[in-house]
A and B are shown apart, each in its own frame.
Chain A
Amino acid sequence: MFRLQGSKVLAVDMTGDAVKAKNGSMVAYDGQMAFKKMSGGGEGIRGMVTRRLTGEQMTVMEVKGHGTCWFADRASEINLVSLQGDKLYVESSNLLATDAALRTGTSFTGLRGASQGNGLFTTTVEGHGQAAIMSDGAAVVLRVSPQYPLTVDPGAYVAHQGNLRQSLQSGVTFRTLMGEGGGEAFQIRFEGDGLVYVQPSERNTIAGDV
């Protein structure tokens, strides 16, 4: 049902079923389609708080109909992820579309460099179905295993799945001639067993959105 047309456009062929997609990401469609705005961020109290904090940025729409619908977002590269009952964690602004059958929720991570305000909100996707995630430039998928932990620059983090523990690391020392330098002061360290998606760019997430 989800297919890529080139690397920056997601085509979804629908026969009466539905997909949830990032608001504003529809670029074209044929046939008959209906669009419904949904509230993002999840259910209940937590959902309400999330929506308050993130404003419009996390609005999701539901698209239902017969025909083909094309989605794209700022020419970002798209990666398809197939979930078979497992859980995917994605930077909220990097999630383009999900099969309506998948359950989405939010988790507050607050880990990644709160000073820059990025990485506060992660969307969780679980169940059986396909999800389309976006990245600024083609994503590179890196495997983490017990003997090979991985350190990632927060601005480059896109998503991860599997059994992974995250911790903040400040491993960058910028003692220069001029004193404490700029640049990323934190890095995220992943340990355990799973996959991490990184993008070849420092494009920030929600709060520091380009």
Chain B
Amino acid sequence: MAFREINSKMIEASVVPGQRLFSQRGAMLAYKGDVSFTPNMTGGQGGVMSMIGRRVANEDTPLMTVEGSGTVLFGHGGHHIQVINLAGDTLYVEADRLLAFEGTLQQGTMFLGSQGGVMGMVRGQISGQGLFTTTLKGHGSVAVMAHGGVFEVPITPQRPVHVDPQAYVAHHGDVRNKLSTALGWRDMVGRGSGEAFQLELSGSGAVYVQASEEKL
């Protein structure tokens, strides 16, 4: 039940009895057949942690459980969608960049950087109130949104990669992350907060970077 790309901004998923999908609220564009969309306010995988924070409205949005028998078209705001297929490893994704994922994956949360996730740090929400990063592990497909699409940068032990936190979408592999202020970056202040930080990823794996430093 993988996701099929219809075009860069829309994916199609077949829903089959007994197999569930989870999607972000508002991600369903159209459907055929007998499909139900149930929000998980509590419950779902990981209890309260199944909320996907929505950066724009600052509103916690519930994950939807999608089940039944039919076909669903997913997309959101005309953003580009990248389908990532996991074969046992773990994907770390900025929570609100997650469009949909298969129920076979195990969902969890993790804090990147010191507290409050990457964007939490960037926005100065060090209190832990900010967004957290979602982890998905196992075998299955994940659909991730980004402004303008993503490109993949491999991370190797000899070549750590530095990413603008606002352009960070997701990463996978055996990767250590560090939020740092690099010398010289302090000179770059000018476009609002967050410019002084960069996310440093080292180890082996790959990071998905979006072609924009804008929020969704």
Contacts and interface: CB of A to CB of B under 8 A. Distances in A.
Q: Which of B80, B162, B211, B213 has the most CB of A within 10 A?
A: B211
A26 interface: yes
Contacts of B167: 27-28, 72
B211 A30 contact: no
Interface stretch (B94-102, B134-142, B185-193): B185-193
A72 B211 contact: yes
Given A74-B214, A75-B148, A30 B188 contact: no
B106 interface: no
Nearest to A8: B211
Given A35-B185, A36-B184, A75-B211, A30 B151 contact: no
Interface in A58-75: 59, 61, 67, 70, 72-75
B209 A27 contact: yes
B161 A74 contact: no
A88 interface: no
Interface residues of B, number: 28
A67 B161 CA distance: 10
Contacts of B147: 74-75
Interface string A73-102: 111100000000000000000000000000
Nearest to A70: B209
A67 B159 contact: yes
Nearest to B160: A30
Given A9-B211, A28-B162, A30-B162, A70 B153 contact: yes
Contacts of A25: 213
A178 interface: no
A28 B149 contact: no
Given A74-B148, A75-B147, A28 B190 contact: no
A37 interface: yes
A29 B185 contact: no
Contacts of A30: 153, 159-162
B187 A35 contact: yes
B115 interface: no
B183 to A, nearest CB: 8
A33 B164 CA distance: 13
A73 B167 CA distance: 10
B153 A24 contact: no
Contact of A59 (B153, B190, B212): B190
A31 interface: yes
B153 A72 contact: no
Nearest to A34: B184
B207 interface: yes
Contacts of B148: 8, 72, 74-76
Given A28-B163, A30-B160, A23 B188 contact: yes
A183 interface: no
A75 B159 contact: no
B161 A35 contact: no
B87 to A, nearest CB: 24
Given A9-B211, A23-B190, A35-B184, 6 more contacts: A5-B151, A26-B164, A28-B207, A29-B161, A61-B188, A76-B148
5 contacts: A28-B162, A37-B190, A70-B151, A72-B167, A75-B149
